[in-house]
Chain A
């Protein structure tokens, strides 16, 4: 997928550059773009690793486990099939919590573990069951305590207070999750009646 997108961006740039008589700017941009990207990355390295370090302190202190326990009642309502499923529910809670804490690196392996547990109880079907769909939709809509990555980028581009968008991000992502789960419930019902 990305092969086509990246290729398309470059090809369009060269063609439009030629049409608009801006090929000189395009060649300049090719050189500058790479340098800018490295500058952005250097600007991000410090803050991203500082924040990951802080989050690891709370993780090692058991914050993730505590939060996961607090979320369990809510999540077991969303995944009634696995209410008493032990390891499935644990994996689901761990993944959602890791996402919330912004521990992206550990969230994905935990998510895959949850999917594997669900597939084990799915009798080897190649069709996704309702719980899997709810789980994937929860993962495609992100709820994060602190949107670190975006804030660091905003900081790099001169935002006075990079985290001032926090309430907006919170409301927007929560709304996305609500709509996503509501859609799942509606689609599930339609399937049953149709």
Chain B
């Protein structure tokens, strides 16, 4: 499984550069333009990320995070979810920066290559900020009655999160 991860970046760079040349794209100009957008996107999340990483760091150092994890662990064990993941699962659909902050906390406490670290990363990578997306899309066109949107979206999130645990166990053990 390591192999895929090791090779994907060089392969993608190779394919994209060749593709760009074949399609006669001014590749360096196009790269610079896209890279500027990437810088701007990272910059635009920086203030909220600073706020939320600080809040989560405080939560951790006050002992509150461990208290929450201990409190939910009987329930988490019953459904076979690592208790350390629960705060991320709660934050993920609500806040992008909040879940990023929680992910960094989990990775720094457990290690990026640990079972818990991998599950957290897969969860973060396979779900979206559900409430935000719903608010933006329906807000833009003045829809008031969203019917079964929330139910279906949350069930989809839960399915992805469950799959994250199962797939990490399958591919990496643990």
B36 on the A face (CB < 8 A): yes
A104 on the B face (CB < 8 A): yes
B29 (CB) vs chain A CBs: closest residue: A60
- Between B2, B38, B46, B53, the greatest number of chain A beta carbons within 10 A of the residue's beta carbon is seen for B38
Identify the stretch in A10-18, A71-79, A81-89 within 8 Å (CB) of chain B at 4 or more residues. A10-18
B173 on the A face (CB < 8 A): no
A38 on the B face (CB < 8 A): yes
Query: Among B34, B61, B148, B163, which residue has its beta carbon within 8 angstroms of that of A184?
Result: B148
Chain B interface residue count, CB cutoff 8 Å, equals: 103
**Given contacts A40-B49, A54-B12, is CB(A159)–CB(B30) below 8 Å?**
no
A62 on the B face (CB < 8 A): yes
**Given contacts A33-B54, A142-B126, is CB(A17)–CB(B20) below 8 Å?**
no
Chain A interface residue count, CB cutoff 8 Å, equals: 103
Establish whether residues A162 and B138, one from each chain, have CB atoms under 8 Å apart when the complex forms: no
**Given contacts A30-B54, A49-B42, is CB(A16)–CB(B67) below 8 Å?**
yes
The 8 closest A-B pairs by CB, nearest first: A56-B34, A52-B38, A180-B156, A176-B160, A33-B57, A164-B5, A33-B54, A49-B38
- Which residues from chain A sit less than 8 Å from chain B, CB to CB? 1-2, 5-6, 9-10, 12-17, 20, 22, 25-26, 28-30, 32-34, 36-38, 40-41, 44-45, 48-63, 104-105, 108, 111-112, 115-116, 118-119, 126-128, 132-133, 135-137, 139-142, 144, 146-147, 149-151, 153-169, 171-173, 175-180, 183-184, 187-188, 191
**19 pairs across A/B with beta carbons < 8 Å?**
A5-B98, A10-B55, A17-B62, A20-B62, A22-B63, A25-B62, A41-B42, A48-B42, A49-B34, A54-B12, A60-B23, A105-B41, A140-B127, A141-B157, A159-B117, A168-B167, A171-B167, A175-B160, A184-B152
